[in-house]
Amino acid sequence: MPAFGIDLGTTTTLIALARQGKDPESIETDVRNLKQPGYEDERELNHLPSVAFFPDAGEPVVGLWAKENGPYVGPTRCVRAVKRLMGRDLFLDQIGRTPSEVSALYLKEVLRQVLDKGYAMDELTVTVPASYTTNQRGDTLRAIDKAFDALEEQRLRGEQRGRLLISEPVAALLAFIAWDMLKARHARQIDVDRQPKILVYDIGGGTLDLTIVELAWRDPHGSYSLDNLQFSVLAISRHNQFGGEDFDLRLAHELLYPRLLEASPDLERIELTREERLALRYDLINEAERLKIELNMELEFDEEGILFRTRPLSICGQEHDFTVDLSRHQYEELMAPFLKEREGAKNALWPITELLKESGIGREDIRYFFPVGGMARLLPLQEALVRYWGGKESFLKFPVPDEAIAQGAAVYSYLKSTRQGFKIEEPAADAYYVRLTKEFDLLLRRDQQSSERQRYILENTGNKLLLQIFAGADPPADGELESIYHTLIYQGGTAIPLGGVYNKGTPVTIEMERRYDTKVPVVRIWIGNSTEPVDVIDFDELKSEQEEARYA
């Protein structure tokens, strides 16, 4: 049976499959066959754009049509980059959906198309950024469940129900290793015998995700195969809100919009409605993305520059188009804030410096640097990374970097379904804390799978226990938790019925454990001298119940 993986991306959603004896492969999943610019072999389009349009009546539309036509039909009912909203307690009033419900539409569409092609579903893994918090992972799990419920497919209703998550950098590396191991041993790019440390630099449409992995053989005398490979995830980055969308926005605001006003100066005197402004913004972002791809195709792009003509932009019933004459120097100056190392999350290089510093791992300890994701194709970014790293001798190169994550998720699904007990352990993005009356107490560090049982005392007589969980940075070395309070983000809470009235001073014991395949925690609570927990709380299900109550 084939195993599947989905890259639920900010700008595109991809699905891939892995089968016995064959390379993992991506599956075409959009309603139109288009030649996708920017690829050497002009492959058929197999990316579903992560854009949704919600009409006044009828079912929402996702994919290429929503991206190209939604801004014209109703820009306030067009949604893009919803991945950046996952985990937030948001209800998008204009469309009447939560971020997880919008993401479920993308998952449903790619799954539907795959099932329509005659595939049966044995195992499914969905990828998330390594730095996703509990709430963001929980939202992804809810999106998977909603997609399955909408499909009403018995083939998707196995016991697991596809509730497997893997981080995007690890999935990409898994795809690379599966591909690399097909080569003769002397031709492989990775020498596992050296127990190498690899920095995975995963940059997509909306996220920059960094992970340091160490590889080794489980049995030094065993087979040269994935079965014998041991992954040790040593460190992950904490900041991920940066990617291709930021490049597109900068091109749109700093280059295309001023050129539009130069070509049509009368527009400055026109007062646009909110919908017209939003439609123009979508148009300019789409043109900026097209310009970015075209610039990347110009391998000989030099001081003479290129001439880019926009497609007609409809503004107040009139069409406007214009040209952009852009030299390489001008382009590099425009992108410089992202590509020159400077402190801040909106930078392509600073997060590497920050991760190495926080992890205590030196650059000289990293044997391989692996850039992956759709934005890894951007030539100025490639050049900036080579300059920053001091050469490209250690760079690993995957033939289709924007498909590595989906293919790696499919490989993970396959290994989970065929290898008893197979798992890859990763640290979580956050440590977890329980809120007490006047302070917080650490329950679980980022690198722990389960906590010791923590004992507290009821401060008031009652029949309920208010439990609130927060996530944030690991405690500082000096143990002063107050210094990390600003990092703490509320993850959820509930009033736990105790089954009776307990007096002030009654002991309460709490234990937290992360599930291996999702990283979403489960909390167990004991009261007094009870031998069995009075409650077991799954934080994914807890938020689902809270959402249902709020929107009922």
pLDDT in tens, 517-541: 788 888 898 998 888 888 888 877 6
**CB burial readout 302-315, b (16+ within 10 A) else e:** eeebbebebeebeb
Tell me the per-residue pLDDT of 536-552, one tens digit each, with 9 for 90 and over.
888 776 665 555 545 44
70: helix, strand or coil? helix
What is residue 156's predicted lDDT score, i.e. its pLDDT? 54
What pLDDT, on the 0 to 100 scale, is given for residue 276? Answer: 85
Residue type, 140: T
Check whether 211 has a pLDDT greater than 60: yes
Instruction: Report pLDDT for 475.
Output: 85
Identify the pLDDT of residue 296. Answer: 77
pLDDT of residue 45: 54
Give the pLDDT score at 469: 83
DSSP notation for 161-208 = TT-EEEEHHHHHHHHHHHHHTTS-GGG-S--GGG--EEEEEEE-SS-E
When pLDDT is cut at 50, 70 and 90, the band that residue 217 belongs to is very high
Token couple for 525:
């609570």
Which tokens in the block code for residue 508?
């309460």
> Three-state DSSP class for 127?
strand
In sequence order, what are the residues at sequence separation of 6 or more whose Cβ sits closer than 8 angstroms to the Cβ of residue 346? 241, 242, 246, 337, 338
Token look-up 């999943």 returns: 29
Taking Cα atoms as reference points, which of 390, 377, 180, 416 lies closest to residue 293?
Answer: 377
pLDDT at residue 292 greater than cutoff 80: yes
Average pLDDT over residues 156-167: 64
The whole-number pLDDT of residue 493 equals 76
Question: What is the C-alpha separation between 517 and 424, in angstroms, rounded?
Answer: 9
* pLDDT at residue number 302: 59
**CB distance 207 to 243 below 8 Å:** yes
pLDDT of residue 157: 47
Q: Which of 31-35, 45-49, 198-202 has the lowest mean pLDDT?
A: 31-35
- Could you tell me which residue, 201 or 275, shows the higher pLDDT? 201
pLDDT score of 268: 83
Tokens 């123009």 sit on residue: 280
Cα-to-chain-centroid distance, residue 542: 22
Q: Specify the higher pLDDT residue, 296 or 42.
A: 296
* Whole-angstrom distance, CA of residue 103 vs CA of residue 84: 11
pLDDT in tens, 404-453: 999 999 999 999 888 887 878 788 878 888 888 888 888 888 888 888 88
Q: Is the pLDDT of residue 24 over 90?
A: no
Contacts for 451 with CB less than 8 Å, ≥ 6 apart: 443, 444, 511, 512, 513
Q: pLDDT at position 344, please?
A: 74
- In this predicted structure, the answer to whether residue 191 has a pLDDT above a threshold of 50 is yes
Residue type, 59: E
Higher pLDDT, 58 or 298: 58
Average pLDDT over residues 171-179: 94
Rounded to whole angstroms, the Cα distance separating 162 from 125 reads 6
Q: Give the pLDDT of residue 42.
A: 41
Answer yes or no: is pLDDT of 364 > 90: yes
Looking at residue 30, what is its pLDDT? 65
Whether the Cβ atoms of residue 436 and residue 428 lie closer than 8 Å to each other = no
**Domains 3-188+390-418 and 244-336 fall in the same CATH topology:** no
Distances (CA, A) of 526 to 410, 506, 534: 39, 11, 6
Orientation angle between helical segments 64-73 and 274-297, nearest 10 degrees: 140
Lowest mean pLDDT of 212-226, 248-262, 536-550, name the range: 536-550
Contact of 34 with 437, CB cutoff 8 Å: no
As a CATH number, domain 244-336 is 3.90.640.10
Q: How does strand 123-128 pair with strand 3-8?
A: parallel
Q: Please, what is the Cα angle at 411 between 408 and 417, to 5 degrees?
A: 145
The pTM of the full predicted model, rounded to 2 decimals, is 0.87
pLDDT given at position 4:
93
pLDDT at 465: 81
Mean pLDDT of the chain: 84
Q: pLDDT by residue (tens digit) across 446-491? A: 888 888 888 988 888 988 888 888 888 888 877 788 888 888 888 7
pLDDT at 240 over 80: no
State the pLDDT confidence band at 43, using cuts at 50, 70 and 90.
very low
* Residue-range domain boundaries for the chain: 3-188+390-418, 244-336, 431-551
Q: How far, in Å, CA of 443 to CA of 447, rounded?
A: 12
pLDDT at 160: 43
Q: What is the CATH T-level fold of the domain 3-188+390-418, as seen in this structure?
A: Nucleotidyltransferase; domain 5 (3.30.420)
Q: What does the pLDDT read at residue 352? A: 94
Q: Which residues, at least 6 apart from 191, have a Cβ–Cβ distance to it below 8 Å?
A: none
Amino acid 162: pLDDT: 53
